[in-house]
Structure 1
């Protein structure tokens, strides 16, 4: 054996040596090429599909009713398509989906004596199989720690982004009602799992399809008989998941269950199957959707108990509770379908068994409700005075005609004389009514509002106080024929010069659109006067008017319409002030402090402790104070819970924001979509360049940002970029422009449009 190996080695060496050193002959010819192998299948071109998305808003699953079987004897079937956006923002097929859950509900006519005329039923609940059914490629999955059967999910390789689901196990699929009515409206929605962003991190929001409503017997799309509230109504406060997509009605920020994004989704679980007694002391609310949603939004105003108090007791509805159409914007069901379950969820103090708080009336059942509340003064629309504020407000008009300066007998003083035409309930105000006008006013001290303007910038030159804000009383004037009211008041002559604005903040009581005398025992609205802000020049009556900065749409990045989308109107927010426009708000909330810097200088948070009565204990954030009442910073501060007095918008001990309905960083919840915050010179678009405090003047961009970014590191960042801040104020209002725009102007890598993206999903 050894000799054989040596021979082989010698032969190999001789052969190698001969090939490399000794041959000088011609090289042999190349052999013929072999046949080409079969081509492999072509892959999809790069960028033509995606397996990741940046946000939930970029993931869209579309269902087709013709490819769904969820009722009857035929086997379960589902087909759908999914698209996602690439990192470049291109919408392409989404591939690689490996787990979904399917929710199916049907709507049936209620033949019982009480309740809504149509009710929702969850198919899986009806089959005693939970609330939904999973689908995976394996036909199995883990649910709450246990392996369960799932439908088999298959991706169509011939049609990227298209998937089918089938039930491969014994028996009927959990979401199929074998004996259900195929003529009932059915609603299907799909939740997707295990989808990651481009860095491999999970998507923070739920990935839900837009529900589809259809009639299985015909495959036709259908319209629910119960959807009295649209997604758009919720979006007004809770924002849109994809802020700029016109065809996307998904809601951005519903805290419960980490955001089920459509009203249509909620009823999959919150339906009569889990309804409960509203008066149960442990639960304290009815989890059926029609009742629960009322209780949640009225939480702060109700005397709740049990779980309801803990969960909803601090929820403050930002609009007026009596304005039913703030939410009920989709049909008239809220007026036509009157039954106790929905009503007592807001009117929680009514006892139908005893008649307490119901005029002693003990109704025999829901069918009796319509007899009293179906029409007339007790109907929902009339009793709640729905939509009547605007008309009522228009029934008290103060039309300022002129503002003049007249001599006074007091040295260094002059009379500021305001002449207005006043109408009430469509007619000129008469002397008898004017003599009793304080009986109509919610606050007899609310006056005219006039003040000086900076002739160069339009800024209110002086803030709250006697140094340029003039407040002639609305009462005590002289009324002539035609409702011509003249009021006057003495002010320092030296102040009565140059451009001024003029408006009023009178607030009155109204009932059924008419201005009436206030009655604390009656249900009345507190409405503001209609008083268009007008502009005059006390020195030169012929001079071009100077308008406040906030009335110039080119310099204002917010609007009353943006506020009113969620709040309904500014009047009820401001209490007894009787204001409807920003031009009235900035009279006191200007960048010039006047005599009062801030009524809310400290910031509080809700601790984890409670007092002996079980009420929350609040504590101050140490070292965090604010010393100005500028409208911009006040609005930021309040909505971001940098406030005191235990407000409805607050932060807890961990710093989590509660009570603000939109995503915290969604600037376009308030700011206009087509506006930019920064001007070409790097300052604010408004032209505001300084804010006055007791200590001096501070930089407006930094102070706006500090309303949310309150850490010491943020303060140091502001200072290092040229800002004057509260603890280091300047002695002059002529401040240099901060360098914030260098990095944070729109279009920059770290621009506000990127880090605080207008799309709520970012």
Structure 2
């Protein structure tokens, strides 16, 4: 027997509870005599919230398991009556041990011997100081045959599970909210299978998983329980962090993109008939050896997660339904393990560096040769395919003292190289001097480790200086967006460069037309440096032999007149990067290069080159993606065709105005027609109305929004160019998500809004006409922060 979590039955009462005690006397003694204090509790029918704490686990000599748990509400008040609850919906428990991983497919010994012979390597090659990372093995397993809807790869599979049918029959009340669950069988009485090691080993770390939901209609966010308890039966102690297995912290990994709110039915990570959400409970059943018999796919948690995010996974799951994840869009780079396996976030975060048979194949199937012998060693011991890891011998994959990172050295090379070069080659804008009379601009930049002109440096691939004017200026100049890009590597007559001090570069721009930039006090200067690098070393190298590019944006921005930019921040850059890793730039560039329209050598790319974009939220994207952007899509160099050239498919949900573009993409309301090449739909994993995912407190005060220019787009029923409709700025922002807008439109028009008005004769909306912010600004009576909770 063991008791590793002693809980006193005496609770610290809140004043409300004390008042209840006083009113009821809290006495069970004889009349006129004070009895012992009563235990405050509520019945299961009265509890609005539930939580369970596993307090004691006992495993006797016959391997009979008993689990004691305390059931309370969110305030810690004991909840009674669970054992008598009619129609108890969910009560399930599982138990697993932490042991060496077991194979997914059960193969005959003859096949195994042949595979080993085919993949044989020398003794020196097989030597490794790293054991396979321990995995969970459940004591409760089944052998499952494929159903009638099986696919071609169908095969009999093992499946780990929990005990979920016994429910109240296995439950005993110990009083005062304390319950004992006795597993219906001893550990040795559950089905045993050849090739699957389920021998009870009390010296190993064990995990108890408990799930509970009292009624079918119980609120999931307040009354669904998923709890785990890790302990060592031989000692009766809960385990230290380094004895367990926690390879990710869901708060930092899963929930950086997904929504942790179980109350949100659209986006919560809730599985198996709305019963399971806790990652550390999932791994009790999603083991290395568990498989889906209908598809033949592994149910291992690593495989499932990796392949879903690569849109390569199918499973016949709950109620025999086929779940196809081929439309999932992952916004990051699957090769960057550190996105989810964040260093030091969990006790075993670094375990991803230890090779796993299934996990390695999850991503490397594309490299399988035609003569592959179907063994993991047969693929990864191929020195031609994996030449770089083999250059480090075994430690190229298996961590040892020579390379503690193991395969992580290669998986995280891009991230580590980017971090190193960002530190080594920082760019900062020191000053800017604008002469309107002389039509010149002099900008001084500080670049670490730059002692010669950029064009002479073999490791510099690109170096840009970018100027952008006020995005929504009333009189747009012919270059749309008031944006100009100067290539600091090109030898042009209007750009002169000089090294004026160590690590200091002065750029003189001549023949500058300041009218291109509208209000100069609202202009911005940016800079971007692109370095060639060697991912294997982390150093910048000659671009002719480099295998990686690293983009570095200047640490700051200035106005053309040299002042520090103090524009109000409307969205968090880090919030964007939280889901969109550093590889986002490549995808943005790819999107802009459809049919070659914005390639650097094309006419549009000469001025508007999207490869110079420095961040998603610093205003540079908006300098092109303005309210007038779609008027210029048919433009030649320095031409402005105007509203009569707006294409009929460029409606409110296919505009290029930045706010509406971003909102419609994430709300999945965006149409994807364009360039004769429809793009795939996106799958945004969070709540569409959860503004706080991208916007911090104070960023949604709507200040100045109504003063901006209205949006002109194609009318909903347009068939020809120039059939346009007008939206006032606040209403346009809302309409990007709110596609069913009948009631919204009537309300908005009453407060100065313009919606789908015919603007063929020119804009109707007057700056400042909307009064939406009076009620809907953050913090107001009907603020966005309230109506979008």
Q: Which TM-score tier does this pair reach, normalised by the shorter chain?
A: 0.5 to 0.7
Q: Are the counterparts in 2 of residues 698 and 725 from structure 1 also a CA contact under 8 Å?
A: yes
Q: Does 1:297 align with 2:303?
A: no
The CA deviation at 1:101 is 0.9
What is aligned with 2:149?
none
Q: Are the counterparts in 2 of residues 417 and 487 from structure 1 also a CA contact under 8 Å?
A: yes
d(CA) in 1 for partners of 2:473 and 2:404?
47
SS of equivalent to 1:290: helix
- In structure 2, relative to structure 1, the CA distance for the partners of 1:526 and 1:623 (3 Å cut) is closer
Q: Does 1:510 align with 2:533?
A: yes
The CA deviation at 1:265 is 1.8
SS of equivalent to 1:296: helix
Aligned counterpart for 2:710 among listed residues 692, 708, 712: 692
Q: Does 1:100 align with 2:91?
A: yes
Aligned counterpart for 1:474 among listed residues 463, 483, 488: 488
Q: Does 1:122 align with 2:122?
A: no
Aligned counterpart for 1:731 among listed residues 739, 758, 764: 764
What is aligned with 1:527?
551
The CA deviation at 1:37 is 12
Q: Are the counterparts in 1 of residues 728 and 765 from structure 2 also a CA contact under 8 Å?
A: no
What is aligned with 1:221?
238
| TM-score, normalised by the number of residues in structure 1 | 0.67
SS of equivalent to 2:756: helix
The CA deviation at 1:745 is 5.5
Q: Does 1:677 align with 2:700?
A: yes
Aligned counterpart for 1:131 among listed residues 161, 164, 169: 161
How many pairs align? 619
Task: Please list every run of 5 or more consecutive structure 2 residues that lacks an aligned counterpart in the other structure.
Answer: 1-29, 83-87, 104-115, 117-125, 144-157, 590-609, 635-646, 713-723
CA deviations 1:27-52 (Å, max 9, x no partner) are: xxxxxxxxx9999x99x999966647
The equivalences for 1:625-640 within 5 A come to 625-626=652-653, 628-640=655-667
SS of equivalent to 1:470: strand
d(CA) in 2 for partners of 1:507 and 1:668?
32
What is aligned with 1:563?
576
Bigger Rg, structure 1 or 2: 1
Q: Are the counterparts in 2 of residues 189 and 265 from structure 1 also a CA contact under 8 Å?
A: yes
The equivalences for 1:31-430 within 5 A come to 51=45, 59-64=50-55, 67-69=56-58, 72-73=61-62, 75-84=64-73, 92-95=77-80, 97=82, 98=88, 99-109=90-100, 116-125=132-141, 131-134=161-164, 138-139=168-169, 151=170, 153-155=171-173, 158-159=175-176, 161-166=177-182, 180-195=200-215, 203=220, 207-222=224-239, 223=241, 224-232=243-251, 233-241=253-261, 252-253=268-269, 258=274, 260-275=276-291, 283=295, 285-299=297-311, 311-329=324-342, 330=346, 331=348, 333-334=350-351, 336-351=353-368, 353=373, 358-360=382-384, 370-373=394-397, 374=399, 379-384=406-411, 385=413, 386-406=415-435, 415-421=439-445, 423=447, 426-430=448-452
Task: Please list every run of 5 or more consecutive structure 1 residues that lacks an aligned counterpart in the other structure.
Answer: 1-35, 140-150, 245-250, 409-413, 551-555, 601-619, 679-683, 758-762
d(CA) in 2 for partners of 1:417 and 1:165?
77
The CA deviation at 1:471 is 2.6
After TM superposition, the structure 1 stretch with the greater mean CA deviation from structure 2, 221-230 or 575-584, is 575-584
Q: Are the counterparts in 2 of residues 228 and 332 from structure 1 also a CA contact under 8 Å?
A: yes
SS of equivalent to 2:576: helix
d(CA) in 2 for partners of 1:480 and 1:596?
39
CA deviations 1:471-503 (Å, max 9, x no partner) are: 333333433234524142534344566312211
SS of equivalent to 2:439: strand
d(CA) in 2 for partners of 1:255 and 1:691?
46
After TM superposition, the structure 1 stretch with the greater mean CA deviation from structure 2, 633-642 or 308-317, is 308-317
Q: Are the counterparts in 2 of residues 463 and 589 from structure 1 also a CA contact under 8 Å?
A: no
- In structure 2, relative to structure 1, the CA distance for the partners of 1:165 and 1:111 (3 Å cut) is closer
Q: Does 1:450 align with 2:472?
A: no
What is aligned with 1:9?
none
CA deviations 1:343-373 (Å, max 9, x no partner) are: 121111233536599443799xx9x983433
What is aligned with 1:706?
735
d(CA) in 1 for partners of 2:511 and 2:236?
77
d(CA) in 1 for partners of 2:408 and 2:167?
52
SS of equivalent to 1:191: strand
Q: Are the counterparts in 1 of residues 480 and 624 from structure 2 also a CA contact under 8 Å?
A: no
What is aligned with 1:19?
none
The equivalences for 1:594-609 within 5 A come to 594-596=628-630
The CA deviation at 1:271 is 0.8
Q: Are the counterparts in 2 of residues 230 and 263 from structure 1 also a CA contact under 8 Å?
A: no
Q: Are the counterparts in 2 of residues 107 and 121 from structure 1 also a CA contact under 8 Å?
A: yes
d(CA) in 2 for partners of 1:77 and 1:652?
55
